[in-house]
Structure 1
Amino acid sequence: MREQGGPAWIALAGALALAACGSEPAPAPSATPAAPPSELPDAPPSAEPEPSSAPVISTSKTASAVSATYAPQDECADKPGWPTFRKALGSAIKGRDVEGMAALASADVTLDYGGGSGIAELKKRLTDPASGLWKELDAILPLGCAVEGGLAAMPWVFWNVPDDIDSYSAMLVLGDDTPLLAKPGGKAVGAAGWQIVGIDPLDFAPKAPATRVTLRDGGKGYVETERLRSLLDYRLIAEPKGGTWQITAFIAGD
């Protein structure tokens, strides 16, 4: 939903939400004209598709592969000005540099869905230990960067969630080797690293040692709770402005 006075990324998020509500994308144009029916060759009766040798890693928003994983990717590195911005961002976060972060943000940076915005408010929150914003920024840095409509989003998964996923009841499993457990503290019964898994949001306890999850293929088990990250957790949105990148939102929720 686009809020009055909100940045361009909110409009983009609204367009993506409409797509998730049932509209079907237009078919991609063919590179060459289709042959008339009379000219189409007959396929052998027993012809089967060739098996794919590509790794099962999805970067699309479709649910074509239930075993897809969503390890961080960097789609921003080759964008003009991004390397300089990313280096400055990392330095400011590592040094807990409030003024450095403020210099990277737009004047109307959005900070919540209740109207919180602006440089002064950003500084106030960064200097408040109770806000935990530095910890949230630490967590975002290694999770990649996605691009949509010229805007950048960190973490990468934020703009790469399949359309059939309800972000309120799903989480990303962090780590390459995170196992699926038979029970809390039990033996590993499978791999869960970088998968999007379903949870019961009403039963989720952030301090519990493990959380019961459902894999996309229907498998069930437990994952250590500290290895789970909400799909609606904090994300940083940046836009190219005046030859550089500026943070236009640092926000959680929906």
Structure 2
Amino acid sequence: MKRSIIIASFFLIISFISAQELIPPSKYEQTVINPKDESSKVPALKKTVDQMKSAVKKKDVSSLKKLCSANLKWSFGDDSGIDGFLDTYKLLDNPESAGFWKTMDLLLSGGGKLDSGKKTYTVPYWAAVPMIPKDLGQSDDNYSMFYIAAGKDIAVYQEPSLKSTVIAKLSFESVYVQEWTDNNPDADQGAGIWKKVRLSGGHDGYLLGHYLYGPFEYKAVFEKVGGVWMMTAFVAGYHY
């Protein structure tokens, strides 16, 4: 089971979406969602988040473990608990090279959303808010195809190549993802996989996929356990 459950669920969802032959909106309302860090609203929570940032930066497994719930949810299957989490993400045998640190660092750098009851804090911020433009609404069939260009001045190219013309630069803006492509002519320059997107004004272009944060990406959740703020979930899957 373990991570295969997450991966299998992801591809089942993508297959379902593809089967519907979704039609991209011709245009949509420009939507910018700047990442907010709302942990400062609760001093004890902010302390935990700051400690987590420090543990991630130092790749400190001992500190990480103290900041996680013993019943940490890391799978949508029957698996749960801190020991299974540490084992699955290779944080015991070879922690220095574990991919978890980079993923968690990216999540923490995207701010976080505190729920109205101040009982749950989710990182990044976009995992807890709708990314679909308001003029379409969450009932729209395309709700799961909107992603955030998670950064400042992210270039959108006319063609899937770093040598192509830059047609736009986006900062924390919602875009409609039309295609996942394996086209990677700039691999020798460190470029990742290209995604074909439609911008709010109706223009199509390409941007590098590692700049996108979507509704099926990882998120981390912090809640009080025995009166102490801890990370209670680290999962990938549909949000909000």
The answer, yes or no, to whether TM exceeds 0.5 is yes
Q: What code does the residue aligned with 1:134 have?
A: W
Shift of 1:210: 2.7
Name the structure 1 match of 2:194: 210
Instruction: Provide the rounded CA distance (Å) in 1 between the counterparts of 2:183 and 2:145.
Output: 14
Matched residue SS, 2:231:
strand
Post-superposition CA distance 1:79-120 (Å, at most 9, x none)? 130221012101111121112111111121100112221021
User: Is 1:171 aligned to 2:160, yes or no?
Assistant: no
Shift of 1:122: 2.1
* Contact 1:199 1:214 survives alignment (8 Å): yes
Shift of 1:128: 5.5
- Shift in alpha-carbon separation, 1:168–1:233, aligned structure 2, 3 A: same
User: Is 1:229 aligned to 2:207, yes or no?
Assistant: no
Gaps of 5+ in 1: 1-64
Name the structure 2 match of 1:101: 64
User: Is 1:246 aligned to 2:230, yes or no?
Assistant: yes
Gaps of 5+ in 2: 1-27, 185-191
- Name the % identity: 24
Instruction: Provide the rounded CA distance (Å) in 1 between the counterparts of 2:183 and 2:69.
Output: 33
* Contact 1:233 1:253 survives alignment (8 Å): yes
Instruction: Provide the rounded CA distance (Å) in 2 between the counterparts of 1:171 and 1:74.
Output: 19
Q: What code does the residue aligned with 1:135 have?
A: K
Q: What code does the residue aligned with 1:151 have?
A: T
Matched residue SS, 2:221:
strand
Instruction: Provide the rounded CA distance (Å) in 1 between the counterparts of 2:183 and 2:110.
Output: 20
Name the structure 1 match of 2:4: none
- Shift in alpha-carbon separation, 1:204–1:198, aligned structure 2, 3 A: farther
Name the structure 2 match of 1:147: 114
The TM-score with structure 1 as length reference comes to 0.66
Highest Rg: 1 or 2?
Answer: 1
Q: 1:180 aligns with which of 148, 152, 156?
A: 156
Post-superposition CA distance 1:181-219 (Å, at most 9, x none)? 222231222222211212135x34496553210123433
Instruction: Provide the rounded CA distance (Å) in 2 between the counterparts of 1:160 and 1:206.
Output: 31
Corresponding residue pairs, total: 189
Q: 1:69 aligns with which of 32, 49, 70?
A: 32
Q: What code does the residue aligned with 1:132 have?
A: G
Q: Which structure's residues are more often helix, by fraction? A: 2
The TM-score with structure 2 as length reference comes to 0.70
Q: Per chain length, whose mean CA-contact separation is higher, i.e. which structure has more relative contact order (CA < 8 Å, sep 6+)?
A: 2
